[in-house]
């Protein structure tokens, strides 16, 4: 009731510290990587103690999963902001530019780190699998929805979008140790032209 600044409900306290912990985890994975993202590191970055952390997360794994989910959520939020429900369809250029920008976005390295770690950590892999599936299915759905104006078969759209995403993923990962911005730019350009040609060849007029 009072306007006392420090006064928060339990729900608010809870949500705030959880938010700080997840944000710190994402930042830490970004900056020092998955494996050096220790609980001490997260506590230091978030200003929350270990006691506080373990009140809300039962293990390091739970925290990592929460961070991965948040990153996936932000990807979808970003797309829905670019093309709100019912808005006119995006062009191929716009979609490719968006995909490329999100894949190169700082927070997306969380995905690379976590997916690679999941290969050798069964617990992580099990927990991550449904999240990955959900993200990729959502990406494909958005793509199919956006391009249904073109008369391209749904399966072709799905294959094209996942292939492009994989390509930009690989490009980003290799770029850490062998960066080639000019080649990457040429590739982005070529991808747009290729997909536009594909759309024109298979369906309606190129957009």
Partner DNA sequence: ACAGATAGAGACCGATTGGTTTCTATATCG
Partner DNA sequence: CGATATAGAAACCAATCGGTCTCTATCTGT
Tokens of 107: 């927070």
Residue 36 phi/psi, 5° resolution? Answer: -90, 0
Residues 60-79 that bind DNA (CB under 7 A): 60-61
Q: Report, in Å, the least distance between residue 103 CB and its own copies.
A: 9
Residue 109 found at the interface with its own copies (CB under 8 A): yes
How distant, in Å, are the alpha carbons of 84, 146, 197 from that of 88?
9, 8, 21
Q: Report, in Å, the least distance between residue 71 CB and its own copies.
A: 14
Interaction pattern, residues 176-205, with its own copies; x per rule: CB under 8 A: xxx----x--xx--xx--x-----------
With CB under 7 A as the contact rule, which of the stretches 2-10, 22-30, 86-94, 167-175 interacts with DNA? 2-10
What lies within 8 Å, CB to CB, of 28 at 6+ separation is: 36, 37, 41, 42, 45
d(CA 52, CA 32): 22
d(CA 201, CA 197): 6
Closer to DNA by CB, 16 or 145: give it.
16
d(CA 181, CA 183): 6
Where do contacts with its own copies occur on this chain (CB under 8 A)? 31-33, 35-36, 109, 112-113, 115-121, 125, 128-129, 132-133, 136, 158-159, 162-163, 165-171, 173-174, 176-178, 183, 186-187, 190-191, 194
């Amino acid at each position: 009731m009072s306007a006392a600044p420090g006064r928060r409900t339990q729900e608010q306290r809870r949500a705030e510290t959880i938010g700080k912990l997840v944000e710190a985890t994402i930042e830490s994975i970004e900056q020092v990587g998955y494996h050096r993202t220790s609980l001490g590191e997260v506590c230091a970055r978030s200003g929350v103690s270990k006691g506080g952390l373990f009140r809300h997360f039962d293990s390091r794994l739970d925290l990592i999963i929460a961070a991965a989910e948040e990153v996936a959520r932000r990807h979808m939020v970003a797309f829905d902001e670019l093309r709100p429900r019912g808005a006119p369809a995006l062009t191929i250029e716009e979609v490719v530019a968006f995909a490329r920008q999100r894949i190169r976005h700082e927070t997306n390295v969380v995905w690379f780190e976590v997916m690679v770690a999941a290969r050798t950590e069964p617990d992580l892999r099990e927990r991550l699998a449904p999240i990955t599936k959900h993200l990729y299915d959502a990406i494909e759905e958005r793509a199919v929805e956006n391009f249904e104006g073109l008369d391209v078969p749904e399966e072709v759209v799905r294959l094209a979008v996942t292939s492009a995403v994989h390509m930009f993923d690989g490009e980003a990962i290799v770029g850490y140790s062998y960066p080639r911005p000019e080649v990457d730019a040429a590739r982005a350009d070529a991808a747009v032209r290729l997909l536009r040609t594909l759309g024109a060849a298979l369906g309606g007029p190129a957009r």
